[in-house]
């Protein structure tokens, strides 16, 4: 292909995109979208899926490009906002910010909420910008990569994810393993996808589709944290008193550059995979950072890399998850399914033809992503001071408010009161786990990956007619499995070493 001509074409396309995105009405709604996204991201439990669903009817009256730009803004705005509560009150609204809570919340406890939030915002902006360029340049070839992933590859990818998830533990590896297994077990609840048999639903029709992720996450992270805080107030006083600077120091900047780059790369690649891609990317980024760090023991105790990498990864992933939607009309996650719904309502058939039939929409949306990311970083950096001050709000006001928002958010997903009982139950479970010093992040990963692991295993075996060799004869799948084994080996070695360290410490 003639590179020069392609380059010119790209510039022309981007020009068209930016001229669409820069229309006052589109700029305005892009801003409305990212602002709304940030707000709902900050409010625990209320996710972009529910918000976009609620706003869908309003977009009837807009131009197609305007409505998609706004809805997209809500989506990636929520990724920015989601990290705020994860860092400040250990309450991730979405699976992707669950990892950010691990070190982000520890940073906040040490009085470094400002730098943590700034790191998240800057990392997200960088990742978002890179991912936008990737979409513009490589959307069609990247789609081809995503299509190479069949059930066997997904199974191996999930396997790798599960093995790596043990690295999320900052304490005992054994407990982390137990949490992963507990998560897997929770993931079993619901209808068997092959036979329709009900597993562990105990006669509740509400459990037929499994436990609600938001309910589990809000319960084990948020509610448990509130309960824990209720028993000792001292922690928090320390947290507020210690707030010193809002901006990352020179050393912080130095420490975050490489993790942001790696997180962006990982997130961009994994984001294009439908289903688990975006979820896996933040987990994977965190694991990689901890693995290659010279001081892995800092992770879980407020390491800035543990915020920078997953935040970059989840924003990059959020952005590149648009690729299958834009190039194939196939939704990679529920939010993309809504975007497709929005297009259909507008009379646009999503699919491979959108780029050629509606270039102003296609390129306008891509250009707006960069514009939206810029708006977000400009919007979020000045807000950091405000968010940090949120920590000074007395418990008596903050906790009821959080509980109320959690309840609204969880209810809005399926308009189902059952999910609220689930939150309460998982809140108690989470509290017990805190008491036992078991960490919730591996549990959540097991819960998310378990069902996908099982489905893809059975799917791959059905397609291969019961021949398990598919997992090793397909090159991509085999590579992923080899990686999983490698991770297993490296996980095992340091834990032996760590045990020795412990022994030495006790001696001394």
Partner 1 sequence: MLKHLAAAATFAAIFAAPAQAQNYPSRTITMVVPFAAGGPTDTVSRLVAESMSKDLGQQIIIENVGGAGGTLGAGRVAKADPDGYTLLLHHIGMATSAVLYRKLPYDTLNAFEYVGLVTEVPMTLVARANFEPTDLKSLIAYAKANKDQVTYANAGIGAASHLCGMLFMSKIETPLTTVPYKGTGPAMTDLVGGQVDVMCDQTTNTTNQIKSGKIKAYATTSKERLAALPDVPTAAEAGLPGFEVGIWHGVYAPKGTSSEIVQKLSASLQKALKDPAVVKRFADLGTTPSSDAEATPEGLKTKLTSEIDRWSPVIKAAGVYAD
Closest CB to partner 1 among residues 71, 481 = 71
Residues 7-46 that bind partner 1 (CB under 8 A): none
User: Is residue 111 near partner 1 by the rule CB under 8 A?
Assistant: no
Q: What is the 3-state secondary structure (H, E, C) of 277-325?
A: HHHHHHHHHHHHHHHHCCCHHHCCCCCCHHHHHHHHHHHHHHHHCHHHH
List the one residue from 118, 328, 410, 484 that touches partner 1 (CB under 8 A).
328
Kind and range of the H or E run holding 112: none
Name the residue nearer to partner 1 (CB basis): 209 or 233: 209
The answer to whether 324 and 146 have CB atoms below 8 angstroms apart is yes
Quote the least distance from Cβ 295 to partner 1, whole Å: 40
Task: Answer yes or no whether residue 240 interacts with partner 1 by CB under 8 A.
Answer: no
Which of residues 99 and 342 has its CB atom nearest to partner 1 in the complex? Answer: 342
Tokens of 452: 């996908």
Residue burial 222-252, b: 16+ Cβ < 10 Å; e: rest: bbbbbbebeeeeeebeebeeebeebebeeeb
Closest distance to partner 1 from the beta carbon of 145 (Å): 10
Q: Can residue 473 be called a binding residue for partner 1 (CB under 8 A)?
A: no
Q: Is 172 in the site for partner 1 (CB under 8 A)?
A: no
Q: Can you tell me which of 110, 172, 416, 495 binds partner 1, judged by CB under 8 A?
A: 416
Residue 14 beta carbon to partner 1: minimum distance, rounded to whole angstroms: 24
**57 binds partner 1, rule: CB under 8 A:** yes
CA gap 285, 267 in Å, rounded: 8
Q: Are strands 198-199 and 190-191 parallel, antiparallel or unpaired?
A: antiparallel
Binding to partner 1 (CB under 8 A): which residues in 338-397?
A: 338-342, 344-345, 347, 349-353
Neighbours of 84 (CB within 10 A): 30
**Angle, CA 351 vertex, CA 350 and CA 355 arms, to 5°:** 90
Among the listed residues 33, 93, 128, 275, the single contact to partner 1 using CB under 8 A = 275
- The helix or strand, by DSSP H or E, that contains position 485, with its residue range, turns out to be helix 475-507
469 forms part of the interface with partner 1 (CB under 8 A)? no
Q: Does 149 bind partner 1 (CB under 8 A)?
A: yes
How far is CA 330 from each of CA 21, 275, 323, 451, rounded to the nearest angstrom? 24, 11, 9, 21
**How many residues interact with partner 1 (rule CB under 8 A)?**
53
Footprint on residues 185-224 left by partner 1 (CB under 8 A): 191, 193-196, 198, 205-206, 208-209
Q: Which one, of 132, 172, 164, lies nearest residue 368 by Cα?
A: 132
Q: Residues in the site for partner 1, rule: CB under 8 A?
A: 49, 52-53, 56-57, 60, 146-151, 191, 193-196, 198, 205-206, 208-209, 274-275, 324, 328-332, 334, 337-342, 344-345, 347, 349-353, 414-416, 455, 459, 462-463, 465
């Amino acid at each position: 292909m003639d590179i020069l001509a392609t380059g010119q074409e790209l510039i022309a396309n981007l020009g068209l995109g930016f001229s669409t995105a820069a229309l006052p009405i589109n700029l305005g709604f892009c801003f409305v979208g990212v602002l709304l996204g940030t707000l709902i991201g900050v409010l625990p439990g209320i996710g972009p899926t529910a918000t976009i669903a609620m706003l869908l009817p309003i977009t009837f009256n807009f131009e197609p490009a305007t409505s998609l730009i706004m809805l997209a803004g809500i989506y990636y705005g929520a990724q920015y906002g989601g990290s705020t509560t994860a860092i400040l009150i250990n309450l991730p609204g979405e699976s992707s910010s669950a990892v950010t809570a691990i070190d982000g919340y520890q940073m906040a406890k040490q009085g470094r909420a400002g730098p943590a939030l700034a790191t998240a915002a800057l990392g997200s902006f960088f990742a978002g910008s890179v991912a936008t360029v990737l979409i513009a340049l490589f959307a069609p070839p990247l789609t081809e990569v995503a299509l190479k992933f069949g059930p066997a590859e997904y199974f191996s990818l999930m396997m790798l994810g599960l093995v790596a998830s043990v690295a999320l533990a900052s304490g005992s590896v054994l407990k982390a393993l137990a949490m992963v297994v507990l998560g897997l077990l929770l993931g079993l609840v619901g209808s068997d996808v092959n036979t329709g048999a009900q597993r562990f639903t105990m006669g509740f029709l509400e459990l037929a589709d499994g436990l609600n992720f938001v309910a589990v996450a809000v319960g084990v992270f948020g509610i448990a944290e509130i309960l824990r805080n209720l028993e000792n107030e001292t922690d928090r006083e320390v947290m507020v008193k210690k707030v010193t600077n809002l901006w990352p120091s020179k050393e912080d900047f130095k420490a975050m550059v490489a993790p942001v780059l790696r997180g962006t790369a990982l997130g961009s690649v994994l984001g294009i995979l439908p289903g688990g891609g975006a979820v896996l990317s933040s987990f994977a980024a965190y694991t990689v950072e901890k693995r290659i760090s010279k001081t892995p023991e800092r992770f879980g105790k407020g390491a800035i890399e543990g915020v920078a990498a997953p935040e970059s990864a989840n924003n990059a992933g959020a952005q590149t998850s648009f690729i299958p939607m834009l190039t194939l009309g196939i939704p990679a996650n529920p939010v993309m399914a809504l975007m497709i719904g929005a297009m259909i309502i507008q009379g646009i058939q999503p699919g491979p033809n959108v780029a050629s039939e509606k270039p102003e929409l296609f390129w306008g949306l891509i250009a707006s992503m960069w514009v939206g990311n810029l708006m977000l970083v400009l919007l979020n950096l000045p807000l950091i001071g405000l968010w940090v001050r949120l920590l000074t709000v007395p418990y008596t006001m903050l906790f009821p408010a959080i509980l109320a928002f959690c309840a609204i958010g969880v209810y809005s997903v399926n308009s189902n009161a059952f999910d609220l009982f689930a939150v309460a139950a998982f809140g108690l479970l989470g509290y017990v786990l805190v008491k036992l010093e078991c960490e919730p992040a591996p549990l959540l990963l097991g819960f998310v990956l378990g069902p996908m692991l099982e489905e893809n295993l059975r799917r791959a075996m059905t397609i291969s007619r019961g021949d398990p060799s598919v997992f090793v004869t397909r090159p991509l799948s085999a590579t992923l499995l080899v990686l999983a084994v490698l991770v297993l080996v490296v996980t095992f070695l340091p834990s032996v070493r760590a045990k020795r360290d412990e022994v030495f410490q006790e001696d001394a």
